[in-house]
Structure 1
Amino acid sequence: MNLLREIVLDTETTGLSPAGGDRVVEIGCVELINHVPTGRHHHVYINPERDMPEEAFRVHGLSEEFLRDKPKFAELAQGFLDFIGDDPLIIHNAPFDMGFLNAELEWSGRKHLVNPVIDTVTLARKIHPGARVSLDALCKTYGIDNSRRSLHGALLDSEILAEVYLELIGGRQVALALSAEAESQFRSGMVRPPARQRPTPLPARLTDRERELHAAFVGEMGDKAMWLEYLTIEVELRA
């Protein structure tokens, strides 16, 4: 069985246009295998080598001071490329993020990305025509908790987008995922199969003489002894 690996991706930037000198300041990626989050992620803050406009700061809260000692994109590019490989990218409003990433790659002397891209904005518009398809609106549609999203953040938004994407493609199918996980654990030896029942029960360990002595002992306690009730039930079941 071939495994489908997808990367849910988001960026934060200094503005809206790489052509106007805006830069990427944060990248967050979340790995999915067969539509299930694996827990692996890639997350970096980036020194944009320029100031941070107030409008952008109000969106993501990343200040010029905070980013000043962070690595530059050229220093982080290879790690990012190694993580995403050539697998499909899941991005909300993909032209925006892809435009910035390809500009940064070009400025660092690298080729543009050629990964397949799934734009969840386009996907959501097909599934919910006429409805609002912002990430917050889709969280409300699918009952996804986004209360931590007081500011935009690339990794957090990628984690939320992964949940939205799974709903857009038909839900989590938790039972199937758990079944596959259980099968995997069984094959790896983490879960043992239930013990088989014996074809015939083991013989009783008590002899008839021991039963007689036990009955006599209980009888000395009187006719209302609780043990007599259990002894009577056992005899009836064995008859």
Structure 2
Amino acid sequence: MVMNNMFQWVRQFSGVDQSNPQHQSFMRHLQKELKAEQPLTKPISSLRITVLDLETSGFYPDGGDKILSIGAVKIKNSNVQKDDTFYTTVQEPDALSEEIGELTGLKKEELQEAPPLADALTAFYNFAQTDLLVAHHASHERKFLQHATYQAIGTSFKHRLLDTSFLMKIAAPEHELHTLDDWCGHYKIPVENRHNALGDAVMTAELWKRAVEGTMEQGFETLHDVYAHLNSRTR
């Protein structure tokens, strides 16, 4: 009993919830499959892509900010699959400020009824499988997924996650644009459902599609080609 209580105390102190072995088993199996993937040498147009967006309560997961919703859409054969999407809110009603609620349209009531973080993340990974992940300003998504995956499931974040700017350095190097709105304006992508996780994911997917087209027009066929070119420019 003492050891049991000690284990519970350590788990609570570390913030890691390892109470669902099914989640961990699924993630371990998925991560083994990820190791077998070779996305760098495949034609860019053939890559299986899941484009995602997170709405969060702030910018600092280590400081207590939370994931509030997750949206994602598939890209197959360079086409955005608007009928193959994922969306969930997360059970974090206390993390939703009035300001973020106004920005995202999220309500405390829907967050109260949403699945807990571990379930929401596992459902997302089940949707993404071993796809290459893409996001706009991906450092935001990366740090939240790294933190949340470990805290909620007890495993590390292993997916390869690329930023849209990675290909924009090849496809449109003359444009120093930053926001999703600016890039969508440049490519005449309709801005719809802004600051909704799924809406932003769909717009980001359309942006990635344009980036792939521009990159291939420049003669780059694989991600390995892109990495080699960008590395040569920094020497």
Instruction: Indicate whether the TM-score tops 0.5.
Output: yes
From 88, 110, 128, the equivalent of 1:66 is 110
Listed as ranges, the gaps of 5+ residues in structure 1 are: 174-239
Alpha-carbon distance in structure 1 between the residues aligned to 2:48 and 2:54: 20
Q: Which one has more relative contact order, counting CA pairs under 8 Å at least 6 apart?
A: 2
From 118, 132, 136, the equivalent of 2:181 is 136
From 66, 75, 81, the equivalent of 2:119 is 75
Shift of 1:125: 4.8
1:99 aligns with 2:157: no
Relative to 1, partners in 2 of residues 1:48 and 1:129: Cα closer, same or farther, differing over 3 Å? Answer: farther
Alpha-carbon distance in structure 1 between the residues aligned to 2:157 and 2:207: 24
From 101, 115, 119, the equivalent of 2:163 is 119
Letter in 2 for 1:93: H
Shift of 1:110: 3.0
Alpha-carbon distance in structure 2 between the residues aligned to 1:168 and 1:123: 6
Question: Is contact 2:91-2:114 (8 Å) kept?
Answer: yes
Listed as ranges, the gaps of 5+ residues in structure 2 are: 1-41, 217-235
- Give a deviation string over 1:176-197, Cα, whole Å, max 9, x none: xxxxxxxxxxxxxxxxxxxxxx
**Structure 2 SS opposite 1:133:** coil
Shift of 1:31: 0.8
Letter in 1 for 2:161: V
From 181, 185, 190, the equivalent of 1:145 is 190
The percentage of counterpart residues that share the same residue type is 28
Larger-Rg structure: 1
Q: CA RMSD in A?
A: 2.4
Shift of 1:66: 2.9
Alpha-carbon distance in structure 2 between the residues aligned to 1:68 and 1:32: 31
1:19 aligns with 2:62: yes
Alpha-carbon distance in structure 1 between the residues aligned to 2:54 and 2:205: 14
Shift of 1:42: 1.2
Alpha-carbon distance in structure 2 between the residues aligned to 1:163 and 1:71: 29
Correspondence for 1:204: none
Relative to 1, partners in 2 of residues 1:53 and 1:114: Cα closer, same or farther, differing over 3 Å? Answer: same
Relative to 1, partners in 2 of residues 1:77 and 1:16: Cα closer, same or farther, differing over 3 Å? Answer: same
Letter in 1 for 2:160: P
Normalising to structure 1: TM-score of the pair?
A: 0.65
Question: Is contact 2:149-2:156 (8 Å) kept?
Answer: yes
**Structure 2 SS opposite 1:152:** coil
Structure (1 or 2) with the greater helix fraction: 2
Question: Is contact 1:11-1:27 (8 Å) kept?
Answer: yes
Runs of 4+, deviation exceeding 4 Å: none
Shift of 1:37: 2.2
